[in-house]
């Protein structure tokens, strides 16, 4: 008779996510995951298949529980959502950056090479959400594409800077950028 698992999948995924977020896919070892989750390698393999499977599960978990683009889906759509999306709201050290930006820039090329398959690009879904909010804010349709790209690029840059700058400095940069693009 098989043993019943003694852990909750979401809780383990959240703990693993924080390790991957901090260290990246390549630099995270199974020992790191065992230590962070309190679950031994055989149980992790049984639950997630392998390290790559666990990483992919962490991406899905992040989108449900942490992803900032959820702010771009709130009603009413408009500038307020874009402002909240860009301004930092850091609740722990990991959240200083965007896991999906980190994944897109650091981990997806490694995973695609190692797994020999394409992985859903982590952040391709964000620009349409920004654009939709800009439309609802009454922005001139001729400016929608360029402003969407500009805001998205700023967000990616801000997320990268978040690893080395204070929340106050990030907030200042976001406010200055928002004031500039709204003028």
Task: Please check whether residues 101 and 168 belong to one and the same domain.
Answer: yes
- Put simply, whether the predicted model's pTM sits higher than 0.85 gets the answer no
Task: Please check whether residues 114 and 183 belong to one and the same domain.
Answer: yes
Each residue of 87-103: pLDDT tens digit? 875 444 455 566 766 66
Q: State which residues form the domain around 6.
A: 1-65
Q: Count CB atoms within 10 A of the CB of residue 171.
A: 15
Task: Please check whether residues 48 and 87 belong to one and the same domain.
Answer: no
Q: What is the mean pLDDT of residues 1-8?
A: 62
Task: Please check whether residues 134 and 180 belong to one and the same domain.
Answer: yes
SS (H, E, C) 65-128: HCCHHHHHHCCCCCHHHHHHHHCCCCCCHHHHCCHHHHHHHHHHHHHHHHHCCCCCCCCCCHHH
What percent of the chain has pLDDT above 90? 38
- The answer to whether residues 53 and 45 touch, using CB atoms and an 8 Å cutoff, is no
């Amino acid at each position: 008779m098989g043993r019943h698992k003694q852990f909750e999948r979401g809780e383990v995924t959240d703990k693993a996510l924080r390790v991957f977020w901090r260290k990246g896919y390549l630099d995270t070892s199974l020992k790191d995951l065992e230590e962070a989750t309190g679950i031994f390698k055989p149980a992790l393999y049984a639950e997630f298949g392998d390290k790559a499977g666990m990483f992919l599960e962490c991406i899905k978990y992040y989108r449900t529980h942490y992803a900032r683009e959820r702010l771009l889906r709130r009603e009413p759509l408009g500038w307020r959502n874009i402002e909240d999306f860009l301004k930092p709201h850091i609740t722990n050290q990991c959240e200083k950056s965007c896991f999906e930006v980190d994944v897109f820039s650091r981990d997806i090329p490694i995973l695609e090479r190692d797994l020999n398959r394409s992985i859903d690009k982590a952040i391709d879904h964000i620009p349409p959400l920004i654009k939709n909010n800009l439309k609802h804010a009454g922005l001139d349709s001729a400016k929608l594409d360029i402003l969407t790209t500009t805001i998205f690029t700023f967000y990616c840059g801000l997320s990268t800077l978040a690893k080395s700058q204070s929340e106050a400095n990030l907030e200042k940069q976001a406010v200055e950028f928002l004031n500039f693009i709204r003028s």
